[in-house]
Amino acid sequence: MTEYEVTIGLETHIQLNTVTKAFCSCKADSWGEEPNTNICPVCTGQPGTLPRTNKAMVEKALMLCLAMNADINRKSFFDRKNYLYADLPAGYQVTQNDMPIGKGGYLDFFMDDGRKIRVHIDNLHMEEDAGKTKNEGDIRLIDMNRCGVPLVEMVTKPDLHSADEAATYLMRLRQLLRWIGVSEANMEKAHLRCDANVSIRPKGAKELGKKCEIKNINSIEAVRAAINSEVERQTRELNAGNKVEQWTIEWDNDAQELRKMRSKETAADYRYFREPNLMPVVITEEFLEEVKAKMPELPIQRRERFINELGLPEYDASILTGERDTSEFFEAACKIYGKDNKRVSNWMMNEVLRVVNEKGISVSELRITPQDLADIISLVDSKRINTSTGKTLVDKVEETGKSPAEIVEESGLGLVSDDSEIRKVCERIITDNPKEVGLYKGGKETLIGWFVGQVMREMRGKADPVLTKSILEELLKQ
């Protein structure tokens, strides 16, 4: 059997989180609202209307260009892309073709096996969204609420070679979009949509195979499943001696199967021409500098800094830079604690992110603060509380909003370090358990842990464990 190399290019449509639409004053995000209630003559393409470019759309598109290391066209134009769909009321889509806002660029990311992959970007352009079509039996329903919503379409070069690489690219892109604040990037709400161009060729061949475009992919796992399914289909075709035809294919996520839609269009089919009703987009030096000043440190840069400057393992750094608010919480806690960054990392990943996952919220929504986390770790360090109590304290601070010290004082959670109080309990435990004492004195010294546990249970976990063990060892030698 012939071995094949998979080649994948992704087209992503990114809904920008502006307040209003691309060329009118209608609200941009109308998810969940009644159909056809968030529309006006401009976004529904009524004759005689004049669109106006949304400055916030340009700013957010420019931020994405900077984050993707793209070349910025200081003067770009809008074009009309002509095609007839029921959910495209004007009969054309306002987009950018030959002079988009960005060209080139790349996104670097790491795979789970440590490989660093660079995906190059072919172009990055602004456009408006079309409406939404819903089929109910033989009836086709049109919702135009989404018409005119501002998008950035970003097309990669064919640099991806597996479904896992494509899925990881999308995860890292989604992370980046949220990080710089240009999109909510929620695939389930269509803020981030993906089409995959998939082809295979015999290993060692120079020319790419015929590509098929998969549409209607609305989740990371769907991207993985759809690409794997298409690779299997193309492999079967070639192994049977058939040719792969250039088709547009739809992914049915419910049935987990592909369906052919139509032969794939080429750019000539769209008859692009310059949009006459919109002025060119001119990026002045002043505007560019304003946007650059808003750009945060990017996730891959922060990951490297956490490794090189804060001394974190690669795994910790990857987890803690998964979301911008997570990384900022962690770094703030490190500065307050001022000692062992890895210790803060352990508490952050094991306890703070546990609370986040259990409550289904983001780090920015937590009641517990970086100061609280640093205080809890310091309380454990000073032996005022033990580690178990510290973990409980994370939950109590989150529940009440009170400071760790306040909760320890009110609830009496501090460790008992009074020698005489612990000694009384130790003596009682030894008196009440002669069998275990005999085993210990007979050489089974590992039972010391059992004795410590009995004392801790008796004192509700508040006995100083080091002092408790010392006293027990002393008494058991007598």
Residues 6 or more apart whose CB falls under 8 angstroms from that of 5 comprise 161, 200, 201, 202, 203, 205
pLDDT for 112 equals 87
Burial 278-311 (b: 16+ CB within 10 A, else e): beebebeeeeeeebeeeeeebbbebbebbbeebe
CATH number for domain 419-477, candidates 1.10.10.410, 1.10.600.10, 1.20.1300.10, 3.40.50.170:
1.10.10.410
Instruction: State the Cα–Cα distance between residues 31 and 24, nearest whole angstrom.
Output: 18
pLDDT for 398 equals 96
Instruction: State the Cα–Cα distance between residues 208 and 8, nearest whole angstrom.
Output: 10
pLDDT for 268 equals 63
29 burial (CB, 10 Å; 0-12 / 13-18 / 19+) is buried
pLDDT for 96 equals 97
pLDDT for 237 equals 92
Stretches in the chain below the pLDDT threshold 50: none
Tokens of 459: 């004192």
Q: Domain residues of the chain, as ranges?
A: 4-290, 297-411, 419-477
pLDDT for 266 equals 56
Residues 6 or more apart whose CB falls under 8 angstroms from that of 261 comprise 215, 247, 248, 249, 250
Contact 334, 341 (CB under 8 A): yes
Contact 408, 393 (CB under 8 A): yes
pLDDT for 181 equals 96
Tokens of 190: 């269509």
Residue holding tokens 């796992």?
221
